[in-house]
Chains A and B, each alone.
Chain A
Amino acid sequence: MTEALERNIQKWWITIKVSWVKHTAYRMNFFLQMIGPALVFFFVKYNLWSSIYSADKSMIIKGFNFEQMINYHTWAFIVGMVAQGHGSWNLSDDIRMGRISSYLIYPFNFWEFHTASWLSFQCIQIGIASFTLVCVAAAGVLQLPSLEVMTMGVAYTLFISLFWFTMQYFTGVLAFWLEETWILRVMLNIITYFLSGAIIPLDLYPKWIVDILNYTPFPYLTYYPIKIFMGQGSHITQGFFIILFWTIVFAFLNHRIWKKGIRLYTAAGM
């Protein structure tokens, strides 16, 4: 029993290491694909809000002065990088190109391989996010919260990243039926950016929209984690249970879809 567990851990560890090498093999591509979009998104928002507040430096918009607005978007950048950085590109490609045939004979499941790959990706993202955080704090753009708040924020963000992974996995396994799953992923990103408060804080949205959104997982993906980091944590327990509920739903769906999809699988190219 212990020996079997040790062997399994060894498989996970080696897969994580292999994935790390794969992710970092083309460093420029990794930067342009994973970090670049978030960086440009932040840059645009920084300039936009600078332009808005330049009319009146003391202006307060829905409780945000200029510094707080920039703080909000800096945290959005960090949270987005850790929680929503992962995409299931390889997963759907594996299905479409017929590469999952090898997983069917490996002593390591398809989901285990992709979860290990996600873990290695997360390690890289956490490293980059930490470095960014240190840089922006050193530049005086952001004030770091207390250790307690920081720990809670990081734990919550990592929990969200698990939910994001199950959702990405869901769009990936739909490749059994869909020719192009990137459309679903992009659509998911557009909806999430807009409804989670990544583009503008949800405080600026009409109240009736926010009231509805609070019953969906979206505000808990960006808006509430940022609020935790900014020391204004609320809805933490509610958010935890909503995200937990949706993670279980997607994990269940992923399991069912895989079981159904594998019966349709024709092993293209074999």
Chain B
Amino acid sequence: MKHYLSVYKKFVSTSISVETSFRTSFILLIIMDLFFFLSTVASVTFIYDHVSMIGPWQKDQLLFFLSFMLMIDNLHMMIFSQSFWEFSNHLKTGQLDYIILKPMSTIFSVFFRHFRASSLFNTPLFLGSLIYYGLKVDLAPTQWCLIPFLLILGLSLLVVIEFILSTSMFWLTDGIGINFLRMQMQQLARWPSFIYQGVIRKVLMTALPILLIGSAPVNFLFDSSHWPLLAGMILCLVVFSILLNFVWSRGLKRYDSASS
């Protein structure tokens, strides 16, 4: 663990050095995240100017949910996002050879390699929004204490599902489309589960449990009787982690190294 932490520290410092050497891109990334935050929150606010409820939730409840999801997005952008895009490139060019040769977990060296420091600058905004709407929905002290764990849990489930999805790139000539699929999955998860109905909802809550990422923790925070959703989320995380190890090792065996 100590070894991995020291390696990750190096990953972060080299990523920051690379990113800050292209200052315009660095600043544009911060502005891009800012626009995304503002447009998402404003859209929901404009809808609530004309309706009092969406499903069972009032404005502050939905905006708390949205802030929770945007906080997960922010952490995802910071820690993982770039690595997914680099992975599809490395597979195509054969650069992956040098990464999987390193004496550490290949999942770690592939998906934790790139840290996006620019997202760190927007974290206070996302965190501020989460705290502001948390106060509006009157969270109790114990609920506040749970938020960091629930954020980590939500982020973990999201990335494990994305890791599995990305593994399919081993079987494709060009995996860039998978990254777009990943982004669409995030878009679906950014809304509470109650807006979806029927079979689609069941599928997105079980077989591909992306709706659990935000809906399970937030529903649990609002009403602890929703604990089965949270238990389901933890179960999904365990099952999908086992599945990831299996498909990842199959994928590595399938990898035929474009550079050799």
Contact = CB atoms under 8 A, between A and B. Distances in A.
Nearest to B181: A32
Main secondary structure of the interface of A (DSSP, over half): helix
Contacts of B46: 200, 204-206
Interface string A94-124: 0000000000000000000000000000000
B43 interface: yes
Contact of B22 (A180, A186, A204): A180
Contacts, number: 102
A178 B28 CA distance: 10
Given A29-B174, A44-B188, A52-B54, A187 B194 contact: no
Interface string A46-67: 0110111011000101100000
Nearest to A194: B39
Main secondary structure of the interface of B (DSSP, over half): helix
Contacts of B188: 40, 43-44
A191 B35 contact: yes
B113 to A, nearest CB: 17
B197 A32 contact: no
A5 interface: no
Given A50-B197, A184-B28, A41 B39 contact: no
Interface in A177-228: 177-180, 183-184, 186-187, 190-191, 193-194, 199-200, 204-206
A37 interface: yes
Contacts of A41: 187
Contact of B32 (A51, A59, A187): A187
A61 to B, nearest CB: 5
A145 interface: no
Given A37-B183, A61-B50, A180-B22, A187 B177 contact: no
A256 to B, nearest CB: 19
A31 interface: yes
Interface in A5-60: 26, 28-33, 36-37, 40-41, 43-44, 47-48, 50-52, 54-55, 59
A26 B191 contact: no
Interface residues of B, number: 37
Given A194-B42, A205-B46, A187 B35 contact: yes
Interface string B173-208: 110111011011001100100111100000000000
Contacts of B187: 37, 40-41, 44
A190 B180 contact: no
B54 A190 contact: no
B32 to A, nearest CB: 5
Contacts of B173: 26
A200 B47 CA distance: 8
A42 to B, nearest CB: 11
Return the 5 tightest CB-CB contacts between A and B, nearest first: A32-B177, A29-B177, A194-B39, A40-B184, A51-B195
29 contacts: A28-B172, A29-B176, A32-B181, A32-B184, A33-B176, A33-B177, A33-B180, A36-B181, A37-B180, A51-B55, A51-B195, A52-B51, A54-B55, A61-B50, A61-B51, A62-B50, A179-B24, A180-B25, A183-B28, A190-B32, A190-B35, A191-B35, A193-B39, A194-B39, A194-B42, A199-B39, A204-B46, A204-B49, A206-B46
Given A40-B188, A183-B28, A184-B28, 7 more contacts: A28-B177, A32-B184, A36-B181, A44-B187, A44-B188, A194-B39, A200-B47
